[in-house]
Amino acid sequence: MVNVLEYFSDSLEYGGQEIFMINMYKNFSDTNIHYTFCTPFKCTNKTLVEMTKNHGDKIIAYNYDRVNFRKKLKQVAFEVLKNNHFDVVHIHSGSIYTLFNVAKIAKKCGVKTVIVHSHLTGQKNLKYMLIKRYSDMFIQKYADKFLACSLLAGEWKFPKKIIEENKCIVVKNGIDIEKFKFNKNKRDEYRKLLNLKDDEFVLCNVGRLEYQKNHEFIVEIANLLNKQNFNFKVIIVGSGSLKSDLEQKIDVYGLKDRFIFLENRNDVAEILMASDLFVLPSRFEGLGIVAIESQASGLPTLCSKEVPTETNLTNLISYLSLDNVKQWANEIINLSKNKVKRENYYKEIEDAGYNAKESAKLLEELYTK
């Protein structure tokens, strides 16, 4: 039996890292591997809770708040690793600080295989540069395998030598292809459920309501579209600390009737089917798995230039600068005039290797070799 600890530096909710691992977990087939999912914070993802229960695996969630969160990350890692035996520790984070410090704790607690997994890029400020410089000097002493959701995410978190020597393994954020196949009946059902009119052009975004995802930019776009009497609605799927700020900005612009907030959902695939355009104006991304999902659904996808080009898998996706909100509004109006046959785009995503089954197989091999 191989005991694997999946350690997360965020709550186990509905973010990209959690969705990635749920997709992997659904497709793991090696019954000799036992999994424990751990976070210092809360676990609200009901799918993960049910799956671990059915598989006889475990979730450890300390339910801490995020005050002094760095201290709590290390404290929980030490407690869990000291009191349990794990053959493999797989650390998921967009934070160099977390990857380095938890890897150090794991190795000092005698873990044989320590895996660091970069899920994010970020902003090149002084703090980032200082932490990365320190981590680059020592992380190879503690981490045995280096994974990333994209090459760019690996370059942001790992030493240059790791990248140059091809020691960074890109694990594609495989998705459940079947789930995202476009279905006209589901589209009609969900548009009715969400009270969307046939002639309304529906923009959709899925992501935490945090600085990285740049939701306020969507409000700026909506304000310009509204001024041009464009008939549209915006669906925002997700929760986060900036929700009240976002709602306040929407109220100031008089756009309350244009927005639908859906919080965290397990039916993202159906919401994508009900939509007409996916927008991802992120300030930074490790990959942007939702841009893969939207294309699998045959949904035109408009991203910022900060989204890695590994997402460029079909002719549905395009990238714009965040410097010109008017360009985004004009492009959305232009895209609304094009009718897309959405049924078969999932095949292109599968051919590009973004099938959860293949990614899960690669992870299992990494855990057992």
Q: Do 360 and 347 belong together in one domain?
A: no
Cβ proximity of 271 and 262 under 8 Å: yes
Q: Where are the beta strands (DSSP E) in the chain?
A: 2-8, 33-39, 58-61, 88-93, 113-118, 145-148, 168-170, 201-206, 232-237, 259-261, 277-280, 301-304, 317-320
Handedness of CA 153, 264, 354, 308 (dihedral sign): negative
For 110, left (φ over 0), alpha (ψ -120 to 50), or beta? left
Q: Do 325 and 359 belong together in one domain?
A: no
Q: What is the pLDDT of residues 312-330, one digit of tens each?
A: 999 999 999 999 999 999 9
Cβ proximity of 295 and 313 under 8 Å: yes
* Cβ partners under 8 Å of residue 351, min gap 6: none
pTM of the predicted model, to two decimals? 0.87
Q: Which residue's structure tokens are 């760019």? A: 152
Range of the domain at 275: 177-351
Cβ proximity of 175 and 136 under 8 Å: no
194: closest CA among 272, 297, 255? Answer: 272
CATH number of the domain to which 342 belongs: 3.40.50.2000
158 DSSP assignment: S
Split into its structural domains, the chain has a count of: 2
* Cβ partners under 8 Å of residue 70, min gap 6: 97, 101
- The pLDDT score that the predictor gives to residue 122 is 80
- The pLDDT score that the predictor gives to residue 359 is 94
Tally Cβ neighbours within 10 Å of residue 117.
28
Q: Do 237 and 107 belong together in one domain?
A: no
Q: Do 234 and 343 belong together in one domain?
A: yes
274: closest CA among 195, 169, 215, 365? Answer: 195
Q: Do 27 and 157 belong together in one domain?
A: yes
Q: Do 161 and 200 belong together in one domain?
A: no
Q: Do 72 and 105 belong together in one domain?
A: yes
Cβ proximity of 364 and 28 under 8 Å: yes
Report in angstroms the alpha-carbon separations of 239 from 128, 210, 296. 26, 8, 24
What is the C-alpha to C-alpha distance for residues 5 and 35, in angstroms, rounded to an integer? 6
Spans in the chain with pLDDT lower than 70 = none
Q: Do 77 and 183 belong together in one domain?
A: no
355 DSSP assignment: B
Average pLDDT score over the chain: 94
Neighbouring C-alpha atoms within 13 Å toward the C-beta of 339: 0
- The pLDDT score that the predictor gives to residue 266 is 83
3-state secondary structure of 58: strand
- The pLDDT score that the predictor gives to residue 83 is 95
286: closest CA among 139, 151, 91? Answer: 151
Q: Do 116 and 9 belong together in one domain?
A: yes
Which DSSP string do the residues of 91-107 spell out, in sequence order?
A: EEES-HHHHHHHHHHHH
Q: Do 15 and 133 belong together in one domain?
A: yes
281 DSSP assignment: -
154: closest CA among 349, 87, 103, 164? Answer: 164
- The pLDDT score that the predictor gives to residue 68 is 85
102: closest CA among 121, 112, 115? Answer: 115
Q: Do 207 and 264 belong together in one domain?
A: yes
- The pLDDT score that the predictor gives to residue 126 is 86
- The pLDDT score that the predictor gives to residue 271 is 97
3-state secondary structure of 319: strand
Q: Which residue's structure tokens are 């890292």? A: 17
Q: Do 241 and 295 belong together in one domain?
A: yes
What is the C-alpha to C-alpha distance for residues 36 and 20, in angstroms, rounded to an integer? 16
190: closest CA among 257, 273, 260? Answer: 273
- The pLDDT score that the predictor gives to residue 334 is 96
